Amino acid sequence: MPISTSLSDASATVALATLLAPLLRAGDVVALHGELGAGKTFFARAIIHALGGPEEVPSPTFTLVQTYDLAPAPVWHFDLYRLTRPEDAHELGIEDAFAEAISLIEWPERLGALLPAERLDVHLAFGRSENERVVTLSGSPRWEERLKALGLP
Amino acid sequence: MLALGIETSCDETAAAVVDGDRRIRSSVVASQLEHHRPFGGVVPEVAARAHLELLQGLVRRALEEATLGFDDLDLIAATTGPGLIGGVIVGSTLGKALALARGLPFLAVNHLEGHALSPRLSDDVPFPYLLLLVSGGHCQLLAVEGVGRYRRYGTTIDDAAGEAFDKAAKKLGLGFPGGPAIERAAKAGDPKRHPLPRPMIGRPGSDFSFSGLKTAVAHAADAIGRAPTDQEQADLAASFQESVASSLADRTRNALRRFADEFGPGHTLVVAGGVAANTRLRQVLGDLAAREGVRFIAPPLALCTDNAAMIAWAGIERRRLGQEDGLDVAPRPRWPLDAEAPPAPYAGAKA
């Protein structure tokens, strides 16, 4: 069952990311969906911070991927906005990331069939007020089990 | 001294020959825009392949236009980062191969250093000066004290200004590249029609932020509830452009005051990078420089956007100091000019 909750402002987004971050393990794929400005980079940044990453977490739109050497696994933060052919993702070493790292992927639909089925989907949408977002978490059966640990309604 | 420069760090493939007397003997840029336009952005894999296809021919053309041969050159300079790793590998590898084959020194140039030193090529600006570098991938304020001596006063905590232009243009359906598209549309628009946020204005320091502005444009466009009319597009484009320009000017003013505290009054403000092509931004920065009592330099457009002449020039400046790089130097997707810069509060920097 997808979990849907409202995030009233940026600090609520940070709180959710901080709750989620300790669940992440090597090989995990988190697909961040949402239109321009929905807060995908913000969410990814909050996860990286929660895992002890550096203060500076740049938007990877320009470089496509930024990597962080963190525990329990390295984090690869992808922004596939500028990718047009899924195959081009091979050039970024995305398979290495799937095998050994925690992959946070913005614009995951650009991957087409290359997007692993075993993943957590995070959908971010605009809410009623300017800073509000509605987040929906869903995923493979294994992820559904893990999400229960979050204790979200 | 004659230098061949190679630039492939983003969507421009470029080669140039520059001499030690600040003369650009040739500068050829094969804009890959036609390759990219259908995709609404620079496509990295397309970029790497296009660089590979174009680069050798461009180097040959740069030498032909300069009526020079490899034997006349004193050094090879190639962008070795930061940028899209595929393109950077193509350019730096060709540069190293040419240097090895011709027994010439190789200079691995930081793309940002190319921009930072470009006003010395165009206008012989003496050190120190304050540089506002605004492009699709970078947005920072740097005190340029000398070759290899840069201090970052501010950087973006989220998106670069050029990235914001591209994304706002996409949201408004104005096409790619976003900078010229927004500027064109803004001409017929009312910049006061949409009260968009003016990011960071009034805050101390010189960091930038454009992510919230991008979101505000998205909200404003969605609020229209249908495809915007030409006038609505124009008004939003004008409001967006005004917000970016005034935010950049506010951050730059703080940096100019810090610069004056550290280096004394009466120096130079330089703007470089693709966003420096924006007429409104030039106007706002020119006014600011006049108010603050400093000289304002915007190098010619061909030197502001990505080009290889600035890379060749950075090679010359470094070679004059006796520098040279080994052929084992690795391409770097990230390569800050000021490695000691304190991290921007809470978020990210582009380089």
Q: Are B115 and B273 in contact (CB under 8 A)?
A: yes
Mutate to test the interface with A, among B45, B172, B207, B240 (most CBs of A within 10 A): B45
- Domains in chain A, CATH or no CATH each: 3-136 (3.40.50.300)
Q: Are A33 and A108 in contact (CB under 8 A)?
A: yes
**Residue contact B343–A91, C-beta within 8 A:** no
**Window from A9-13, A61-65, B259-263, B304-308 with minimum mean pLDDT:** A61-65
**Residue contact A57–B348, C-beta within 8 A:** yes
Q: With contacts defined as CB-CB under 8 Å, which chain A residues touch B85?
A: 63
Q: With contacts defined as CB-CB under 8 Å, which chain A residues touch B344?
A: 55-56
CATH of B128-298, one of 3.40.50.620, 3.40.605.10, 3.30.420.40, 3.40.50.10490: 3.30.420.40
**Residue contact A36–B160, C-beta within 8 A:** no
pTM: 0.85
**Selection from B27, B37, B94 nearest residue B64 by Cα:** B27
Q: Are B110 and B82 in contact (CB under 8 A)?
A: yes
Residue-wise pLDDT for B307-328, tens only, equals 999 999 999 999 999 999 999 9
Amino acid type, B86: G
**Selection from B177, B182, B276 nearest residue B221 by Cα:** B182
Distance from CA of A152 to the nearest CA of B (A): 27
**Residue contact B163–A59, C-beta within 8 A:** yes
**Chain B residues near any Cβ of chain A (below 8 Å):** 10, 39, 41-46, 48, 82-86, 136-137, 156, 158-160, 163, 167, 170-171, 211, 214-219, 222, 333-334, 343-351
Give the CA radius of gyration of chain A: 14
Residue-wise pLDDT for B285-308, tens only, equals 999 999 999 999 999 989 988 899
What percentage of chain B has pLDDT greater than the value 90?
73
End-to-end CA separation in angstroms for chain A: 11
Token pair 């970029």 is found at: B47
Q: How far is CA A64 from CA A51, B85, B251, B331, in A?
A: 21, 10, 27, 16
What value, to the nearest 5°, has the Cα angle with vertex B146 and ends B20 and B133?
95
Residues in chain A: 153
The fold of the B2-117+302-320 domain, in CATH, is Nucleotidyltransferase; domain 5 (3.30.420)
Mutate to test the interface with B, among A63, A78, A87, A106 (most CBs of B within 10 A): A63
Residues facing B28 on adjacent strands: B15
End-to-end CA separation in angstroms for chain B: 30
Q: Specify the pairing of strand B75-81 against strand B149-155.
A: unpaired
**Residue contact B44–A82, C-beta within 8 A:** yes
Q: Which residues contact B340 (CB under 8 A, 6 or more apart)?
A: none
Residue-wise pLDDT for B100-148, tens only, equals 999 999 999 999 999 999 999 999 999 999 999 998 888 999 999 999 9
Task: Give start-end residues of each CATH 3.30.420.40 domain in chain B.
Answer: 2-117+302-320, 128-298
From A55, A84, A85, residue closest to B346, measured CB to CB: A55
ipTM of the complex: 0.76
Residue-wise pLDDT for B50-101, tens only, equals 788 789 999 999 999 999 999 999 999 999 998 887 889 999 999 999 999 9
User: How much is the pLDDT for B345?
Assistant: 55
Q: How far is CA A23 from CA A36, B22, B109, B139, B233, in A?
A: 27, 57, 42, 34, 44
* Exposure b/e, B305-342, CB count within 10 A at least 16 = b: bbbbbbbbbbbbbbbeeeeebeeeeebbbbbbbbeebe
- On average, the pLDDT of chain A sits at 90
Token pair 């030197």 is found at: B303
Residues facing B133 on adjacent strands: B140, B272
Q: With contacts defined as CB-CB under 8 Å, which chain A residues touch B44?
A: 64, 82-83, 88, 91
Q: With contacts defined as CB-CB under 8 Å, which chain A residues touch B347?
A: 45, 55-57
Distance from CA of A44 to the nearest CA of B (A): 11
Rounded distance, CA B175 to CA B165, Å?
10
Two tokens, residue B234: 């124009």
